[in-house]
Chain A
Amino acid sequence: MNIIVFIKQVADTEARILIKSDKKSLEIENKYNMNFFDEFAVEEAIRIKEKFKDSLITVCTYGTKKAIEALRTAIAMGVDRAFLLDNTNLDNDDPLIIAKILSSFAKKEGFDLILCGRQAIDDENANVGAMVAEFLNIPHISAILKLEVIDDKKVKAESELEGGREVIEAQLPALFTTQKGLNEPRVPLITGVMKAMKAVIPAIDPCSLGIVKEDIDTKASKITVLSYEPPQSRPPVKVIDGETPEEKVKSLVKALKEEAKAL
């Protein structure tokens, strides 16, 4: 089985993020991780390989050279090989373009199954997975909670539905986005860490995947960020006073009703 896992390196949730004075760019502290939801994708791929031993797991990201670290983490966990789709001089975060680049990579490498996280925790878009599936003309199932690979042609997946769950059988090749609850991502063993440290990770120019540069550069983007701003700060908390719990609750409910108009 040929498995591709698409991951993204994202700023740590605790990283300092500053808006630069032009209000059009951000300064992000050098603290990055593999995207939270992508860890489930990597873990699931490794579990599939544990069942289907002759599988090949390829992990790939579109990003800067810094993102090689996230790829190494995936190798430390147990994937076979990794590629960086180098975005140097292509600074572009339009999901449509990223999906085009990733799908070109998948086409070139070949695959039976693609896994990626439900969404990136930085832009919270949840776009790229389903878009890649569309460009590859394969079915996708979003936010899976269970995946059972029956053979190299068929899988059974459980995914979240509004107010419930559904079980879907899908023919391969197909794409699945992963979320918390699917599995428990492993902590790398030192043998994996050593393999990852030595791994040579090729940086690929997306234009070498048969894509025209004009189609993927900044100008091709269909969305433009006008400005960044900090969120409105909240007024300080009003601590409700009272002699007894009952008094406190009464004052709170009164405030919610009359002042905040929240009831």
Chain B
Amino acid sequence: MSKDVLVFIECKEGTVRKASLELLSKGKEITEKFSSYLYAVVIGYQIKGIAEGLKSFSDKVIAVDNESLKDYRWDTYMTVLEQLIKKYTPGMVFGASTITGKDMFPRLAARLNGAIISDAVGIDLDGENVRIKKPLFGGKIISWVVCKPGSTSLISFRPNSFSIEKRSLNGELIEETVEAPRDSRLNILSIDKSGSKKVDIQEADFIICGGRGMKGPENFQILEEIADIMGGRVGASRAVVDSKWREYDDQVGKSGKTVSPKLYIGCGVSGALHHTMGMDTSKVIVAINKDPNAPIFQYADYGIVDDLFNILPFLKEELKRAKEEI
């Protein structure tokens, strides 16, 4: 099996998703070590511009541009990817552990009879071995896993697992035409992307999360304002979602989304286990709570013990000022 790495690129609103650039950055580090190729595969419709932009990040950019591939469907995208993997025979295929990645990668692994590791958070190059770091039990245990040699390995990584390194590689652009008939058994009736303007919560660099201490849905307005200033997202604890103050899409935790933003601020979040399991890989954690014994403080880097309603207006102003300075 070759040591080439192929990255499945996800796009959103005409741009490459951050998570995909992270994978290219890490992929390049690996292929440099093994003197192998890094492929970026981008699938879609009218993606020339995107493909061009990927040239600086990879050795070869493979673009499959077809109107029938305008929207993601596992049946068409997977068939395209399957053909490309068979043709270019990479040893490892990387994808992001997003809704799309989680939908397609397992099925592709089954089709290729390959090895799969999902929701990984790191890689360690140890001689010839590529060791994959994967949290289990909501982060209570870290496992190090390897794929058996000889089979194609599909690995999906949590967004925000790696940093993005700007490169200037000028890779080769290859346009491929692949037949990808739709599965006639599935018929998409409607797509509602009204939420797509918002940053994906798993990809967000900044999350301000409200808990039961927010007292009511109306008080989330200020969190929205702060998230807008920071270009991030508002999250919610399970208690908040169960009380129907916020949508399930916002739920951070074991039964919601697993996030690891650069900065997480918990407001009136007590820090129950099922919540912290979904956010404890965040880079910097701030907790604002009036109860000094709230378990969230055990996970936090910084804590403010005070009534959050006194704190938030100042926080909004100070963050706005800090943003303007940059």
- Give yes or no for direct A-B contact (beta carbon below 8 Å): yes
Q: CB within 8 Å of B: which residues of A? A: 11, 13-14, 17, 19, 26, 36-37, 94-96, 99, 119, 121-131, 133-135, 138-143, 156, 160-171, 174, 180-181, 221-231, 234-235, 237-240, 245-246, 248-250, 252-253, 255-257, 260, 262-263
Q: When the two chains form their complex, are residues A228 and B110 in contact, meaning their CB atoms are under 8 A apart?
A: no
Give Cα A95 to B321, complex, Å.
49
- With both beta carbons as reference points, the residue of chain B lying nearest to A122 in the complex is identified as B137
Q: When the two chains form their complex, are residues B193 and A161 in contact, meaning their CB atoms are under 8 A apart?
A: yes
Proximity bits, B199-239, A CB within 8 Å = 1, else 0: 01000000000000000000000000000000000000000
6 example contacts (A-B, Cβ-Cβ < 8 A) are as follows A125-B116, A140-B74, A227-B144, A246-B314, A256-B286, A263-B263
Given contacts A124-B118, A164-B193, A248-B311, contact A171 B102 (CB under 8 A): no
Given contacts A131-B109, A134-B107, contact A223 B147 (CB under 8 A): yes
Tell me if B34 counts as interface (CB < 8 A to partner A): no
Q: When the two chains form their complex, are residues B111 and A222 in contact, meaning their CB atoms are under 8 A apart?
A: no
Given contacts A17-B137, A249-B311, contact A134 B110 (CB under 8 A): yes
Give Cα A135 to B262, complex, Å.
39
Given contacts A163-B197, A166-B188, A256-B286, contact A13 B138 (CB under 8 A): yes
Q: When the two chains form their complex, are residues A222 and B148 in contact, meaning their CB atoms are under 8 A apart?
A: yes
Chain B contacts for A135, CB-based, 8 A = 110
Q: When the two chains form their complex, are residues B322 and A257 in contact, meaning their CB atoms are under 8 A apart?
A: yes
Q: When the two chains form their complex, are residues A237 and B298 in contact, meaning their CB atoms are under 8 A apart?
A: yes
- Of listed B75, B148, B292, residue having the most chain A CB within 10 A: B148
Given contacts A124-B118, A253-B318, A256-B286, contact A130 B103 (CB under 8 A): yes
Partner of A162, one of B184, B196, B302: B196
Partner of B141, one of A17, A171, A245, A249: A17
Q: When the two chains form their complex, are residues B190 and A126 in contact, meaning their CB atoms are under 8 A apart?
A: no
Q: When the two chains form their complex, are residues B116 and A237 in contact, meaning their CB atoms are under 8 A apart?
A: no
Given contacts A11-B137, A227-B144, contact A166 B191 (CB under 8 A): yes
- With both beta carbons as reference points, the residue of chain A lying nearest to B283 in the complex is identified as A262
Give Cα A160 to B195, complex, Å.
11
Chain B contacts for A121, CB-based, 8 A = 138, 254-255
Proximity bits, B114-142, A CB within 8 Å = 1, else 0: 11111100000000000100011111111
Tell me if B178 counts as interface (CB < 8 A to partner A): no
Q: When the two chains form their complex, are residues A170 and B141 in contact, meaning their CB atoms are under 8 A apart?
A: no
Chain A contacts for B188, CB-based, 8 A = 166-169
Given contacts A131-B106, A222-B114, contact A245 B142 (CB under 8 A): no
Give Cα A249 to B151, complex, Å.
53
Partner of B106, one of A14, A130, A256: A130
Interface residues of B in 245-281 (CB under 8 A from A): 248-249, 251, 254-256, 258, 262-263, 273-274, 277, 280
Q: When the two chains form their complex, are residues B100 and A262 in contact, meaning their CB atoms are under 8 A apart?
A: no
Report the minimal beta-carbon distance from B304 to chain A, rounded to whole angstroms: 5
Tell me if B113 counts as interface (CB < 8 A to partner A): yes
Given contacts A121-B254, A166-B188, A231-B139, contact A130 B146 (CB under 8 A): no
Give Cα A170 to B187, complex, Å.
6
Q: When the two chains form their complex, are residues B146 and A126 in contact, meaning their CB atoms are under 8 A apart?
A: no
Q: When the two chains form their complex, are residues B286 and A252 in contact, meaning their CB atoms are under 8 A apart?
A: yes
Give Cα A199 to B303, complex, Å.
52
Q: When the two chains form their complex, are residues A262 and B99 in contact, meaning their CB atoms are under 8 A apart?
A: no
Ranked 6 nearest A-B pairs via Cβ:
A163-B196, A222-B115, A134-B110, A164-B193, A249-B314, A245-B310
Q: When the two chains form their complex, are residues A234 and B144 in contact, meaning their CB atoms are under 8 A apart?
A: no
- Of listed B98, B99, B191, B305, residue having the most chain A CB within 10 A: B99
Q: When the two chains form their complex, are residues B145 and A240 in contact, meaning their CB atoms are under 8 A apart?
A: no
Q: When the two chains form their complex, are residues A130 and B110 in contact, meaning their CB atoms are under 8 A apart?
A: yes
Given contacts A260-B301, A262-B262, contact A253 B284 (CB under 8 A): no
Q: When the two chains form their complex, are residues B137 and A237 in contact, meaning their CB atoms are under 8 A apart?
A: no
Chain A contacts for B146, CB-based, 8 A = 223-224, 226
Chain A contacts for B302, CB-based, 8 A = 237-240, 252, 255-256, 260
Tell me if B315 counts as interface (CB < 8 A to partner A): yes
- Of listed A160, A171, A260, residue having the most chain B CB within 10 A: A260
Tell me if B166 counts as interface (CB < 8 A to partner A): no
Give Cα A228 to B144, complex, Å.
6
- Of listed A13, A123, A138, residue having the most chain B CB within 10 A: A13
Given contacts A162-B98, A245-B310, contact A131 B301 (CB under 8 A): no
Q: When the two chains form their complex, are residues B136 and A124 in contact, meaning their CB atoms are under 8 A apart?
A: yes
Given contacts A131-B110, A223-B145, contact A163 B200 (CB under 8 A): yes
Chain B contacts for A128, CB-based, 8 A = 106
Partner of B303, one of A165, A222, A240: A240
- 15 new A-B contacts at CB < 8 Å, known A37-B255, A124-B138: A13-B277, A36-B254, A96-B115, A121-B254, A122-B137, A139-B185, A142-B103, A162-B12, A163-B193, A223-B116, A223-B148, A239-B303, A249-B314, A249-B315, A252-B304
Given contacts A26-B141, A163-B196, A227-B144, contact A124 B255 (CB under 8 A): no
